[in-house]
Amino acid sequence: MAPLKNSIKKCGSRRSQNSRAGFGARESEPDANSSNPKHIAIIPDGNRRWVSKNRTKLHLGYSLGIRKAIDISLLAKKQGVKMLTIWALSTENIKKRNKNELGLLYRLYAVTAKDKDILETLRKNSVRVKIIGNLNILPAGLKKALSFLQAKTKHYKDLTINLLVGYGGREDIEYMIKKIRARLASNPNASLSSIDSYLRTAIVPDVDLIIRTSGEMRLSGFLPWQSSYSELYFSKKYWPDFGEADLKKAIKTFSERSRRFGK
């Protein structure tokens, strides 16, 4: 466990040149434009390809990816973003990825969730973390660590990070249908005016901007309900290389678009 924790800490010196986030430092007052997105969702893709490109070890790529998520969250907060939704681990990952690779991810997430420096960074910046997904398919140790992280940050208010773990868009819809069927079975006359309240992601509001890294130009089932009118931004950079300039470019692109919501 110690080597994994150390690898996360060492990643602070490995950030790309276009990321100047001061990890652990309190952010200054937002310099956000009113047209900037308030809710950004991210598909942080390309960690393994970054590892292959840089001929390094997988745990370093994943460690950098985790650290990058924290850095980008603080940078987004500086730009006036109030909520960030990050897809940390999909149900497809859990079903199809190599068990050794999954075990590494589980351990890294568990270590990160209880890391004192990271918890202090979240406290200083008043960042709340909510864990969303089918936690029953996760190892007990990881589930406990994530629950600890959520409880530890529940009173913070400046930025909310929705961390999707054990999440899949189709599975979320299936979950909603099962909940509705159970509801109607017990009460056939029940009102279903807000069917989205039955989703696992019911607490996640509609997304303004979705960012996917690594050059892939698809959503892969990401937040199908909340993404109906989201603006999409695809970056060719692998997630560990995605930095401050890239985030600002995505936000600038968003601010220049006209959102008509079907009008």
Q: Is 93 a catalytic residue?
A: yes
The one catalytic residue among 18, 36, 71, 93: 93
**What do you get for the CA distance between the two ends of the chain, in Å?**
54
CB 24 within 8 A of CB 67: no
CA–CA distances in Å: residue 127 to residues 88, 155, 158, 213: 17, 9, 6, 23
Q: Which of 185, 175, 165, 186 is nearest to 113 (CA)?
A: 165
* Residue bearing tokens 């995505």: 250
Question: Residue 130 and residue 30: Cα distance in Å, rounded?
Answer: 23
The one catalytic residue among 45, 115, 208, 241: 45
Question: Residue 260 and residue 196: Cα distance in Å, rounded?
Answer: 22
Q: Is 172 a catalytic residue?
A: no
Question: Residue 229 and residue 225: Cα distance in Å, rounded?
Answer: 10
Question: Residue 153 and residue 159: Cα distance in Å, rounded?
Answer: 11
Question: Residue 84 and residue 245: Cα distance in Å, rounded?
Answer: 18
Sheet holding 209-212, edge to edge: 127-132, 159-167, 83-90, 39-43, 209-212, 231-234
CA–CA distances in Å: residue 88 to residues 7, 146, 150, 187: 18, 12, 15, 36
Active site residues: 45, 93
